[in-house]
């Protein structure tokens, strides 16, 4: 058993998950693209307005599909924030492309659109905005630049399902966008993801890549008379068991989002005065961004204070975590030329950010215990 009484994350069961899994098993179709996968696709398409949604085995795999669909390869450059999960960049590096790391905005911690122009070269093929914490990147500026330079935009929307930027759903700006249903995300089936295809010209190839490079889907729809190998590809379909679990959660999206909104606002209300007193920065959500309440973070004054607060919370049985070591300073990032000082905001934020426990079933008592423990911290001289 863990020493923690309040974990950072707990996978959620909203109610119908196991009933739907039994239904999937009883239907006699347990591999991918059965009834539950189709229901997930239809729900994601209706809720976001994307041209086509494809469930995948992870967001990482959706990013790999996206990298294939953009046709990047050796000699091409892909612009990514340094402050992100490794899959945002690995997917493109797997194709032989070179990552170009760009710093983040100090307010939203999103790719800083003001630094993009100078990072673009004639080799730039793709830009990967990551909507950090589900708060939209400055998509007006990013899309304008990308269109002007003929660059494909792939949104890593792992945090941002059902978030909006200027009223438009996140995940519908770029030609492609990726979602995650990993257990730490708002909606989950343990491991899972989705590719949103917004550019209709890419739909047919996306379907083929996901079916191991075959035209199997078109064959079953009677659109071609033989089922054969037509392109490269892999196996990126989750089983119906996972789609059934996920569908139960997506169906409950209003309830789940309301739970998360309550948690986020509880932290915000009960920590604002404390943060102000101690020079702690809380999340910033610009008025034109509608967030899907993916996480709540604190920006502490220094690395030492953050580490002391983690230890203090641990002593109270509370698990708080930090994330995203700057990718440009990782072993791989340095091989691509990353150097200290390249992304000063990322380097600074990465030392000071702390995420508080955040899960759908979190109770008021648990929230109160976290807030009380945070407020009782006195290690400011660390």
What is the contact surface with ligand PLP in residues (CB under 6 A)? 58-60, 84-85, 87-88, 130, 156, 158-159, 180, 182, 193
Q: How far is the CB of 133 from ligand PLP (least distance, A)?
A: 10
Return d(Cα 382, Cα 264) in angstroms, integer: 27
Q: Are 256 and 249 in contact (CB under 8 A)?
A: yes
Give whichever of 64 and 77 is closer to ligand PLP, judged by the CB atom: 64
Q: How far is the CB of 234 from ligand PLP (least distance, A)?
A: 14
Give whichever of 58 and 291 is closer to ligand PLP, judged by the CB atom: 58
Q: How far is the CB of 68 from ligand PLP (least distance, A)?
A: 16
Q: How far is the CB of 225 from ligand PLP (least distance, A)?
A: 37
Return d(Cα 366, Cα 358) in angstroms, integer: 10
Give whichever of 37 and 180 is closer to ligand PLP, judged by the CB atom: 180
Give whichever of 157 and 215 is closer to ligand PLP, judged by the CB atom: 157
Q: How far is the CB of 191 from ligand PLP (least distance, A)?
A: 6
| Contacts by residues 287-290 (CB-CB < 8 Å, ≥ 24 positions apart) | 288/136, 288/165, 288/166, 289/108, 289/135, 289/136, 289/163, 289/164, 289/165, 290/163, 290/164, 290/165, 290/167
Instruction: Name the DSSP letter for residue 229.
Output: B
Give whichever of 180 and 198 is closer to ligand PLP, judged by the CB atom: 180
Return d(Cα 50, Cα 58) in angstroms, integer: 19
Q: How far is the CB of 183 from ligand PLP (least distance, A)?
A: 9
Closest CA to 256 of 156, 162, 136, 168: 162
Return d(Cα 231, Cα 265) in angstroms, integer: 48
H or E element at residue 46: helix 35-48
Give whichever of 256 and 374 is closer to ligand PLP, judged by the CB atom: 256
Give whichever of 159 and 210 is closer to ligand PLP, judged by the CB atom: 159
Q: How far is the CB of 123 from ligand PLP (least distance, A)?
A: 24
Phi then psi for 52, rounded to 5 degrees? -150, 135
């Amino acid at each position: 058993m863990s020493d923690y009484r309040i974990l950072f994350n707990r996978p959620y069961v909203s109610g119908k998950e196991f009933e739907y899994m039994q239904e999937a098993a009883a239907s006699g179709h347990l591999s991918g693209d059965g009834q539950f996968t189709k229901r997930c696709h239809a729900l994601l398409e209706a809720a976001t307005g994307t041209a086509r949604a494809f469930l995948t085995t992870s967001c990482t795999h959706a990013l790999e599909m996206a990298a294939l669909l953009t046709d990047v390869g050796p000699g091409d450059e892909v612009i990514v924030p340094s402050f992100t999960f490794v899959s945002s960049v690995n997917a493109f590096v797997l194709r032989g492309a070179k990552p170009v790391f760009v710093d983040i905005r100090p307010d939203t911690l999103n790719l800083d659109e003001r630094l993009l122009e100078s990072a673009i070269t004639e080799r730039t093929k793709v830009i990967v905005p990551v909507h950090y914490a589900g708060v939209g990147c400055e998509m007006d500026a990013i899309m304008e630049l990308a269109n002007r330079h003929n660059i494909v935009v792939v949104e890593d929307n792992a945090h941002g399902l059902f978030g909006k930027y200027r009223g438009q759903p996140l995940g519908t700006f770029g030609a492609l966008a990726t979602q995650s249903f990993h257990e730490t995300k708002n909606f989950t089936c343990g491991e899972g993801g989705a590719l949103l295809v917004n550019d209709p010209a890419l739909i047919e190839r996306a379907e083929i890549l996901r079916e191991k490079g075959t035209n199997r889907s078109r064959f079953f729809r009677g659109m071609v008379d033989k089922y054969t190998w037509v392109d490269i590809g892999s196996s990126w379909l989750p089983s119906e068991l996972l789609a059934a679990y996920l569908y139960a959660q997506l169906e409950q999206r209003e309830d789940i989002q309301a739970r998360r909104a309550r948690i986020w606002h509880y932290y915000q209300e009960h920590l604002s005065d404390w943060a102000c007193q101690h020079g702690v920065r809380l999340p910033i959500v610009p008025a034109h961004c509608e967030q899907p309440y993916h996480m709540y973070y604190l920006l502490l004054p220094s690395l030492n204070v953050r580490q002391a607060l983690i230890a203090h919370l641990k002593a109270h049985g509370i698990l708080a975590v930090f994330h995203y070591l700057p990718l440009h300073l990782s072993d791989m990032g340095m091989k691509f030329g990353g150097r200290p000082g390249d992304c000063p905001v990322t380097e600074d934020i990465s030392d000071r950010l702390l995420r508080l426990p955040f899960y759908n079933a979190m109770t008021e008592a648990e929230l109160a215990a976290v807030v009380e423990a945070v407020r009782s911290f006195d290690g400011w001289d660390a």
